Amino acid sequence: MTTTPLTLDEIYALVYAALRNAGSNDVNASAVSRTIRNAERDGSHSHGLFRVAGYVKSLKSGKVDGNADPEIIKVSPSTIRVDAKNAHAPLALERAISALAELAQAQGIAACAIVRSHHFAALWPETEALAENGLVALTGVNYKNWVAPAGGREPIFGTNPLSFAWPRPGKSPLVFDMATSAMALGDIQIAARDGKEVPLGTGLNAEGKPTTDPSQIANGGILLPFGGYKGSAIALMVELMASAMVGEAFSYETALTDNNDGGPPPGGQFLLAISPAILSGNPQWSTHAEQFLAKLENMEGVRLPGARRHQNRLDTGPRDINSELVETVRELAK
Ligand code: NDP
């Protein structure tokens, strides 16, 4: 694979131009460009520049409104609903996070339902931002039904990522962010593009047979949940919380209505934010947690989730991006 170096500013500028060309206004294009630049900065390659073509397709097909003005509706003292109004998720999320953080800091716990949003990114930006406000955060989204439940061969779940973040005053938060499928769909597509195999147990081909060929999974096949029935249960939880709980569609329902333009389908997202300072009643809550985390970090062979990304972030230099991908995005940005 040949690569082309791009600075973080160049990444932002290319994405912004591509989205503006496709009809996004400044605020929507800026929010998506920040999300993609930060994904490349942190090494979240499956949700960086790789996604630009899909974002553009969804604007051009009219599925996503690049001029949408997501609205925050306060439902109760600790609940907000965000109507993304068919925007790409980043602008809705930026607005949701500050409103949600304010409620959770006042009430101890707050929840946010996001509807009519098109999520095509990693989830850590939202949990990490809440944790940077001193809050424990949890979020999940569903997608289109790509994943069979444990024991089954028919897809019913999305790849249903789940992200959790824990605040660490003075340090980067502890964050995990993972698809509940054995592999994220973006990674399957990247493996197919790069001609690489995936581990057995990742998915089945169109005949329902286990395969290590990612293109057989991506084209007519299905994914499996991680960790057998245990991962399947977590995928089930995310499916319920990101759809019926927030008033949005299940992944199989979304698949029936999506225009399959290659961009993100419409859907829901839940966000929970909890104040450990209020809930524990212990002014020393973070010192207590840090003692525990220090034990983990000091165990041989162990690293905290999120540490790889935070290490990548320290490098402010150019990123080596797949050259074909750079050309594709440059064309869109012309
Ligand atoms: P990974 O399997 O790469 O990583 C999952 C988590 O585990 C990360 O938080 C990672 O931290 C952590 N981790 C990885 N290796 C270790 C280790 N050795 N020790 C401790 N922690 C570790 O993620 P996935 O491939 O499952 O998901 C990739 C992305 O895809 C996610 O950001 C997810 O949100 C996104 N996604 C988005 C969807 C959408 O519809 N918008 C759908 C599905 C997935 P670190 O990052 O530091 O490596």
- CB 322 near ligand 1, within 6 Å: no
Which tokens in the block code for residue 314? 């320290």
pTM: 0.96
Which stretch of DSSP H or E encloses residue 227? Answer: none
Check residue 68 and give its pLDDT.
98
Which tokens in the block code for residue 7? 């600075």
Question: Is pLDDT of 277 > 90?
Answer: yes
Question: Is pLDDT of 280 > 90?
Answer: yes
Determine the residue of 114, 119, 163, 178 to mutate for testing ligand 1's pocket, defined as the one with the most ligand atoms within 8 A of the Cβ atom: 178
Check residue 271 and give its pLDDT.
98
Which of 187, 243, 275, 286 is catalytic? The answer is 187
- Ligand 1 centre and the CA of 164: distance in Å? 11
- CB 182 near ligand 1, within 6 Å: no
Which residue spans within 212-275 are E strands per DSSP?
222-223, 267-274
Phi/psi of residue 100, nearest 5 degrees: -65, -40
Structure letter (DSSP) for residue 32: H
Q: Dmax of the chain from CA atoms?
A: 57
Q: Where does the pLDDT of residue 185 fall: very low under 50, low under 70, confident under 90, or very high at 90 and above? A: confident
Check residue 313 and give its pLDDT.
97
In angstroms, the CA 309 to CA 5 distance is 19
> Which residue is closest in CA terms to ligand 1's atom 22?
305
C-alpha closest to that of 248 among 51, 77, 59, 81: 81
Predicted confidence (pLDDT) per residue in 108-149, tens digit: 999 999 999 999 999 999 999 999 999 999 999 999 999 999
Q: What domains does the chain contain, in order, with CATH numbers?
A: 3-181+225-280+309-333 (3.30.1370.60), 182-224 (3.30.60.50)
Q: Specify whether 187 is catalytic.
A: yes
> Which residue is closest in CA terms to ligand 1's atom 35?
122
In angstroms, the CA 20 to CA 188 distance is 29
Q: Which residues are within 8 A (CB) of 228 and not within 5 positions of it... i.e. 6 or more apart?
A: 150
Structure letter (DSSP) for residue 266: P
How many CB atoms sit inside 10 A of residue 10's CB? 16
Q: Bridge-partner residues for 178, per DSSP?
A: 162
The residue among 313 and 1 whose pLDDT is bigger is 313
